Structure 1
Amino acid sequence: MKLRITIDGKAYEAEVEILESAESAPDYPPYPPAPSAFVPPSAPESMSAPQSPEAGSNEKECRSPVTGMVMRIDVEPGQTVEPNDVVMMLESMKMEMQITASQASVVKSVQVTPGSSVKVNQLLVEFE
């Protein structure tokens, strides 16, 4: 069988052979079903900055859990925040993550600006 194809105004002719369906389709074993006991892993509760051993555990500080870039800051000095309120949005490896407050507090100072690059454990926000 001959076919004519036109690409960008130029005509091409091609000769095509139709194969029998048994010849062209290989036999594959059936795909096994998914296990019925599959349970997806749970998502992390919060991306509040974890503290490294050398940083100590200071509830009056919010530190970066990753190396990344500050995309958005949702708080300002003097603002009251509740537990799990979004403090800012970071981007790391093309993924956005919300940084949340670990407890109710008042924002004392914000140490970064949108577009700032941050490192792991860098101070982002201080609370009173």
Structure 2
Amino acid sequence: MKLKVTVDGQVYDVDVEVEEEATPALGAVLVGSMSAHGVTPTTAKAPATSSNALTANLAGTVVKVLVEAGQEVAAGDTLLILEAMKMETEVTAPKDGTVAAVEVEVGDAVQGGQVLIEWASEEDEEEAS
């Protein structure tokens, strides 16, 4: 995987080898107040291991979203920026494709494994051509 890292304004291209690890599935997400009344359990929209979704590799806050649904992107393009512990991390496209949906907005807090962007399936891309 190729990454771009910016240190003090200087951009470096970095090659990184990534080993596949089992990603823990998200459990129930409780939506509502802290009281036992009105709490609704729900599950994540797409599993973290989905091949048609880009998931967060760390917990943080979305500070910029640079793409929108329907946009074509190339591998390595920056899609959004997450901030964690006062450091910004660029989330880049792992492959060429078309963005089907952006599941987060600026200001959203995300957890590791949470779906950020869903890719259009190959059938969807062929129909759009």
- 1:120 paired with 2:112, answer yes
Structure 1 unmatched runs, 5+? 1-42
Task: Please provide the CA RMSD for this pair.
Answer: 2.5
Going from structure 1 to structure 2, the CA distance change for 1:90 and 1:51 (only over 3 Å counts) comes to: farther
Within 5 Å, give how 1:1-128 maps onto structure 2: 45=16, 52=23, 54=25, 57-128=49-120
- What is the TM-score when the length of structure 2 is the normalising length? 0.58
Structure 1 segments, 4+ long, off by >6 Å, are: none
Q: 1:66 to 1:56 in 2, by over 3 A?
A: closer
Deviations 1:41-100 (A, max 9, x none): xx6649xxx871655643321101111000000100000000011010000011100001
Query: Gaps (5+ residues) in structure 2?
Result: 1-13, 26-46, 121-129
Question: Larger strand proportion, structure 1 or 2?
Answer: 2
Confirm or deny: 8 A CA contact 2:24 2:113 kept in the other structure: no
* Greater Rg over alpha carbons, structure: 1
